[in-house]
A and B are shown apart, each in its own frame.
Chain A
Amino acid sequence: MPERITPTSGDEAFRRELMGVLPHLRAFARGLCGRHDFADDLVQETAVKAWTARERYQVGTNMRAWTFAILRNHYLSELRKSKRQTDVEDADMERMLVMEADQEGPVHLGDMETALQKLAPERREAVLLVGASGFSYEEAADIAGCPIGTMKSRVARARTDLTRMLADEPEKIGAR
């Protein structure tokens, strides 16, 4: 049943969909860069970029995948910029998450987070997309702009790395 379409209704629907994915973008961004403030800046800039490019978004396609790709590309270009300026690695200073009183999992979330940040960037991205965000290998490969086989092997390597890292320190796991 076609409803009356006003010029702004498409924008409004887009805006609503965009707002809906913001929490996911924040989680992805924070996982990628490990920093609260930087992650939120990335998300806001991504939202503005997406809004500006909204004409290019095809309704009915995956808003989450579309915006994740924008965020990811924006993050990489910011990274290149800041690498040129300084080489400060302060990801360790501000933890991705300050988890308090949430230690019931088999792996302490602080350790999880530290391990995640130690991964090679493309492996981190891969395991975030597939293991945390729940994208298929195909969608993740699209987002990262790589072949599906590459995505699969990145995820597999990330998994191996994480398993090794988190098994190396049995005292820390669940014991804090």
Chain B
Amino acid sequence: MDHPKSNGQPGKTPGLPPEVRRDGEPGWAGGLRKLYNSVVDEPLPDSFQDLLKKLDDGDDA
């Protein structure tokens, strides 16, 4: 078995990993925002249609 001795990611140069520490922030900080924004960007599911109606009808909730 001949495992290539990969040193992983191409951008992994010492000192400045890609997208890391843009403002001295750790790499996951962008990941967290991305995760969050991916939900914000999702279209509202169909189940929310009823909600719209409920609010339309006034407060008989």
Contacts and interface: CB of A to CB of B under 8 A. Distances in A.
Nearest to A52: B59
B4 to A, nearest CB: 13
A159 interface: yes
A127 B27 CA distance: 15
> How many B residues touch the partner, as a band?
20 to 34
Interface residues of A, number: 43
Nearest to B37: A27
Main secondary structure of the interface of B (DSSP, over half): helix
Interface string B3-25: 00000110000000111100000
Interface of B: 8-9, 17-20, 26-42, 44-45, 47-48, 51-52, 54-56, 59, 61
8 contacts: A23-B40, A26-B39, A26-B40, A40-B47, A51-B55, A106-B31, A107-B28, A107-B30
